[in-house]
Structure 1
Amino acid sequence: MPWLQIRLATRPDHSEILEDALLLAGCKAVTLIDTDDKPVYEPIRGTTPLWEHTTIQGLFEEDVDVGQLLSLMDSVIAANQLSVASISTEILEDKDWEREWMDNFKPIACGDRLWIVPSWQSPPDPGGVNLKLDPGLAFGTGTHPTTFLCLQWLNDHIQAGDSVLDYGCGSGILGLAALLLGADRMTGIDIDPQALVATDNNAVANGIAPNRYLVTTDAHELEQHYQIVVANILAGPLCDLSDAIASYLKPGQPLVLSGILAHQADAVMAAYSQTIAFDPVVTLDGWVRLSGRRK
């Protein structure tokens, strides 16, 4: 059915009052978005920041009295002396939202042989290495520059028989891609138990035998060394865990790091400077991939 959408452009410190008012008025869903489209990529630890200019977006059933709703919001704004730059409403047409969502995801080429392919689409290259992966939860799907950069590296470097550690595995996309590219075995570790479920489901969807991979939240289950270690997390954890991550490599073996903004690259490399000799930095859309070998 169609929905009425209301949007209020405000300040972050005024958003909670407006959100409560919308919900009391019968709003079915409230979303906070960045008015200026300036995402917060890696907030300061221990904080949950909102943007300097925040837009509150609410959905109501189509038959809501728009005049009454706007009058109510005007009263709330005046009574609380809130700063609201603009208020707008529109009717969202009834659509097949699932189909529209699915149409947004296309197969992604990650080099000369690796493709990430949504399960409902046919592989563009049936003879290539096709990893079936559906968007879901808050884990990697190959669309983010950091994931894409890591997949490109794996496409170019994985050799038959490699053992791979996917540190912070999320959906398992990197480790599972390595297996399809010819790696012998993969271990994925993550602090979120849901990552284990996501990786298992993706392994089953791609016909990967259970004896070829292990996914765990317990570092004690990891092997002493791997031939390749890849970690696509965030700059802060990469720095904090530098000694632990590098310890899983013998001299001469490669490390791949991502989840790093361009201005963070020097700090991350400095954290690994005693153990890793880095290759030239690779950048995509403001994000970087660092790769190198254990000294």
Structure 2
Amino acid sequence: MDQDWIEVTVLTSSEATEAVAGFLYNCDVEGVSIEDVADVEFKKENLGFADFINESVLTIEEGAMVKGYFKDSENFMNTLNYIKESVDKLGEFGFDKGEGIVTYHKVNEDDWANNWKQYYKPAKVGEHIVVKPTWEDYEEKPGEVVVELDPGMAFGTGTHETTRMCIKALEKKVKKDTTVFDIGTGSGILSIAAAKLGAKHVVGVDLDPVAVESAKKNLEFNKVNNIEILYGDLMEVVEGKANIVVANILADIIMFLSEGVRAFIEDEGYFIASGILNTQRNKVADKLKALDFTIEEVMEDGEWICIIAKK
């Protein structure tokens, strides 16, 4: 693997981070990180997250930095121009682009692939679930359920608000006879949490092959054998129905997929949907209600929400 990579940094608003990450994933990005000023105060006030504050985010007064890592190739400038144009058009999609500044520089692979690990510590992210990096020591306490994780270049460390809320929702809804489908599984964190909470069968799907490989490795760390990780789209690669479908993705994608997802949920089953800004709450909830879901609970964490909807 080449040792030199290009790091693209986008300065944007907190609300636009997931959209910007989506632009990067439309390119040949090898990894994405989000550093949000809005998270800093929470992490300072919560000891379990205190060590995860990346000092680079302290260099900006407001908003967020979204970083993407690309191989240095002759097509890079075309990629960079696409990213700049997409960021400039954020307003057309209803997002505040913030500063909207796009910069890039070369980095060594070790600098971005490994150094971030110093900020990632064990953290309790639900009533029972503790997410522990594979390289950290942790003494499990009574009543805790530990998820071993090395997210690599896939989304899902357990520290993001949307992931925390999904885990809390799973803690409430997973039973010993539950089947769970996890859409956009990323590092596999939600699939593993569901299995360790007692689900009898879990299927995680993702359109990113890097995420699929990351999730499969994390299954090995956790020694769980009732999880399938599949590459592809839920509608195309999964058969049957689940008692719970969980999706920690963008609000617009949730709305787009919700009608098809409904067919994969058992009667009286649940759709746990996150990745939704609180400003998008009503439009997502209205869409789910129109599909004959009952909104059972709306969880809030910072500027994000998670909807628990019952079919």
Please confirm whether the aligned pair reaches a TM-score higher than 0.5, indicating the same fold: yes
Q: Which amino acid aligns with 1:202?
A: N
Please state if 1:290 is matched with 2:266: no
CA drift of 1:184 comes to 0.8
Residue 239 of structure 1 is aligned with which of 238, 246, 255?
255
Identity of aligned residues (%): 29
Q: CA offsets, 1:212-231, max 9 Å, x none?
A: 43423153432321111111
In structure 2, the CA distance between the partners of 1:56 and 1:39, relative to structure 1 (3 Å rule), is farther
Please state if 1:161 is matched with 2:177: yes
Please state if 1:132 is matched with 2:148: yes
Q: Which amino acid aligns with 1:213?
A: E
Please state if 1:121 is matched with 2:168: no
Q: Which has the larger radius of gyration?
A: 1
CA drift of 1:157 comes to 2.5
In 1, the alpha carbon distance for the partners of 2:137 and 2:186 equals 25
In structure 2, the CA distance between the partners of 1:214 and 1:290, relative to structure 1 (3 Å rule), is same
Please state if 1:102 is matched with 2:117: yes
Structure 2: 5+ residue runs without aligned partners? 24-84, 89-96
Q: Work out whether residues 224 and 248 of structure 1, in 8 Å CA contact, stay in contact via their aligned partners in 2.
A: yes
In structure 2, the CA distance between the partners of 1:39 and 1:237, relative to structure 1 (3 Å rule), is closer
Please state if 1:203 is matched with 2:219: yes
Match of 2:87 in 1: 49
Q: Work out whether residues 164 and 226 of structure 1, in 8 Å CA contact, stay in contact via their aligned partners in 2.
A: yes
Match of 1:3 in 2: none
Please state if 1:267 is matched with 2:244: no
Q: CA offsets, 1:94-135, max 9 Å, x none?
A: xx9988632311212122321111111123425421111124
In structure 2, the CA distance between the partners of 1:102 and 1:258, relative to structure 1 (3 Å rule), is same
Q: Work out whether residues 131 and 177 of structure 1, in 8 Å CA contact, stay in contact via their aligned partners in 2.
A: yes
Instruction: Name the one with the larger helix percent.
Output: 2
Please state if 1:255 is matched with 2:231: no
In structure 2, the CA distance between the partners of 1:230 and 1:55, relative to structure 1 (3 Å rule), is closer
Q: Which amino acid aligns with 1:216?
A: Y
SS of 1:239's partner is helix
In 2, the alpha carbon distance for the partners of 1:239 and 1:268 equals 6
Structure 1: 5+ residue runs without aligned partners? 1-26, 61-95
SS of 2:17's partner is coil
Q: Which amino acid aligns with 2:293?
A: I
Residue 16 of structure 2 is aligned with which of 27, 40, 62?
40
How many pairs align?
Answer: 233
In structure 2, the CA distance between the partners of 1:137 and 1:214, relative to structure 1 (3 Å rule), is closer
The TM-score, its normalising length taken from structure 1, stands at 0.69
Q: Work out whether residues 191 and 227 of structure 2, in 8 Å CA contact, stay in contact via their aligned partners in 1.
A: no
